[in-house]
Structure formats: structure tokens, C-alpha cells
């Protein structure tokens, strides 16, 4: 059995680079054999024989396996360091290819057709229906960036010291572009002084320290144009990046009648940071 061949640490590492369970099992089995048939490997790796051929072909395309034509077809392993380099090169090639297709699609009639469909859908959708949950720090960051790119009047941000660093590293260019479009940017932060790492944020908007005596708050939220909001629900210090959860909504009521008054109160009582 495969568990007798290799440690769980190896299997976990291979999972981390994108190999599924059957791919991991078959490749590790082949590493232990050097060369073998699909039937032999399926028995060692406890993978259904009917699936082994397709999975081994997938491994070959990714650079982990060499196919040796013959009857029966045999498979030859690749030195692990070389296999990883081949896999990396294949991923880079795939990414370049997909990027080119995306760029071609963005300028094609197909994009205009999809935009038309989107606009028609938006006409029959109320803003309050545009609400959802986001999971994973990357997805949350992407949504924040999209909101800021669509901003036309204002971006109000409540955050903390870690959040200032995150804004600088993930959203600075987007915020700068918004400022150049004439968007008014305000950042209320739960800090006593501006961290050195975040001082460049003063270039794109005013930052004020909230009054802790007035209201103790350490969360984050984002309001765009007084009608769209995003509010994280998890503490990034206690959960993994993939477990971050946030609520996003285009509810004008929630943005303008709930969060904006809170932000305005904090901003009014805040101290300007330079």
C-alpha cells in the first residue's frame, strides 16, 4: 500500500502543489518502482485500474511522468527535482496562454454580448438583492478592489494597524487611481499613531485615528459611494487566509443609514494623522 511507501508529510506537500489524491498515490508508487505499468501501479497505489490510465496521462502532461509506448504501455518516473521544474514551467505556460485568451476575450464581440446580458440582469435586480458572502482572504481582497475601481464619489474605510498595512500592499494602486478620478478617500484607523509602513497612504487620502474613549472598535468595513459596503466577519489573527469570511452588499439602506453614520461619527471625533 502507498502508506507503507511514503510519509504523510510527502503526500501533504504534493497536495500543496496541486496534485489530487490519485495523482499523488500513483506518482509516489512510480517513484518507488522507477518504471511500471498502469495495472501494477494501480494495485500498489490502491487506485481503480480504470482511472489509472487517464491519471498517469495527466501526470505526463504536467511533467511528472514519461510515457513509454509499447504493449503494455509503461511509465517511467522523473527525478523529483526535475519533475517540479517541469511542472512549474507547464503552469507558467498555461497561465500565459490563459492571460492571452482573457485579453483577446476582453476586446471581442463576445465581451460586449456578456456585458449586455449583465446590464439586462441588473435592470430587474434591486440593490438589496446584490448581497453575498465571500470566503477566503484573496476573494475578499478582490471584491474590495472591484468596489474601489467602481467608486465615483467616495471611499470610506474603517480599519486597524494591520488593515493599513494590507491596504498599502494590496490596494494602494487602486486607491491612487480612485483619487486621480476625483474620489474622496477617508480612512479611520484604530491606531494611536500612523505606522511608518502606512505613511504613504496619506498621499491618497486623509487618515484619522479614532477616539478610543469615544468608541472602542477594532473591526474593519468599507463603504463606497454611500451605497455599497463590505464588512469582514472573522479576525485574520485567529483564522487561516482561506477561512476569512466577509459580507458584501449593495444595500443603499445598510450603507447609508447604518455604516455611514457610524463612520461619520468616528471621523468627526478622530485625530488627523500625518
Residue range 168-193, pLDDT digits in tens: 999 999 999 999 999 999 999 888 77
Residue range 187-238, pLDDT digits in tens: 998 887 777 767 788 888 889 988 655 556 778 999 999 999 999 988 877 7
Q: Rounded to two decimals, what is the model's pTM?
A: 0.64
Structure-block grid coordinates of residue 248: 458584501
Kind and range of the H or E element at 73?
Answer: none
Q: Give me the pLDDT at residue 238, please.
A: 79
Report the pLDDT averaged over residues 118-123: 66
Q: Give me the pLDDT at residue 145, please.
A: 94
3-state SS string for 134-201 = EECHHHHHHHHHHHHHHCCCEEEEEEEHHHHHHHHHHCHHHHHHHHHCCCEEEEEEECCCCCHHHHHH
Q: Hey, which of 123-132, 140-149, 249-258 has the most confident mean pLDDT?
A: 140-149
Write down the domain spans for the chain: 2-86, 131-273
Structure-block grid coordinates of residue 69: 509506448
Residue range 233-274, pLDDT digits in tens: 888 777 788 888 999 998 888 888 889 998 998 888 888 876
Q: Is 63 in contact with 20 (CB distance < 8 Å)?
A: no
Q: Give me the pLDDT at residue 213, please.
A: 58
Residue 235: φ, ψ to 5°: -85, 115
Q: Give me the pLDDT at residue 211, please.
A: 62
State the average pLDDT for the chain: 86
Q: What is the CATH number of domain 2-86?
A: 1.10.10.10
Q: What does each C-alpha distance from 202 to 75, 165, 188, 217, 218 come to in angstroms?
A: 59, 13, 12, 22, 20
CATH 3.40.1160.10 fits 131-273, yes or no: no
Report the pLDDT averaged over residues 134-149: 92
* pLDDT classification of 124: cutoffs 50, 70, 90: low
Cell 482572504 found at:
137
The reply to whether 2-86 and 131-273 are identical in fold is: no
Q: Is 53 exposed, middle or buried (0-12, 13-18, 19+ CB in 10 A)?
A: middle
- Other beta carbons within 10 angstroms of residue 254's beta carbon come to 20
Residue range 57-104, pLDDT digits in tens: 999 999 999 998 888 899 998 899 999 998 899 889 989 999 998 888
Amino acid at each position: 500500500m502507498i502508506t507503507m511507501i511514503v510519509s504523510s508529510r510527502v503526500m501533504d506537500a504534493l497536495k500543496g502543489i496541486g496534485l489530487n489524491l490519485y495523482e499523488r498515490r500513483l506518482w509516489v508508487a512510480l517513484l518507488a518502482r522507477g518504471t511500471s505499468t498502469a495495472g501494477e501501479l494501480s494495485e500498489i497505489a490502491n487506485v481503480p485500474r480504470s482511472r489509472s490510465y487517464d491519471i498517469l496521462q495527466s501526470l505526463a502532461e504536467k511533467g511528472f511522468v514519461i510515457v513509454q509506448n509499447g504493449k503494455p504501455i509503461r511509465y517511467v518516473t522523473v527525478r523529483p527535482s526535475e519533475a517540479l521544474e517541469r511542472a512549474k514551467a507547464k503552469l507558467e505556460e498555461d497561465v500565459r496562454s490563459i492571460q492571452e485568451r482573457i485579453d483577446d476575450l476582453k476586446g471581442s464581440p463576445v465581451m460586449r454580448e456578456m456585458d449586455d446580458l449583465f446590464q439586462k440582469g441588473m435592470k430587474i435586480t434591486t440593490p438589496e438583492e446584490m448581497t453575498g458572502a465571500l470566503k477566503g482572504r484573496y476573494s475578499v481582497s478582490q471584491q474590495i478592489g472591484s468596489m474601489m475601481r467602481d467608486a465615483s464619489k467616495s471611499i470610506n474605510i474603517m480599519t486597524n494597524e494591520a488593515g493599513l498595512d494590507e491596504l498599502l500592499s494590496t490596494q494602494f494602486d487602486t486607491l491612487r487611481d480612485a483619487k486621480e478620478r476625483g474620489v474622496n478617500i477617508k480612512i479611520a484607523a484604530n491606531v494611536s499613531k500612523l505606522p511608518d509602513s502606512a505613511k504613504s497612504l496619506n498621499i491618497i487620502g486623509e487618515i484619522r485615528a479614532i477616539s478610543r474613549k469615544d468608541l472602542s472598535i477594532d473591526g474593519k468595513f468599507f463603504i463606497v459611494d454611500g451605497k455599497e459596503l463590505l464588512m469582514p466577519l472573522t479576525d485574520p489573527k485567529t483564522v487561516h487566509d482561506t477561512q476569512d469570511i466577509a459580507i458584501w452588499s449593495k444595500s443603499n439602506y445598510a450603507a447609508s443609514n447604518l455604516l455611514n453614520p457610524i463612520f461619520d461619527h468616528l471621523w468627526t471625533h478622530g485625530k488627523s494623522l500625518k
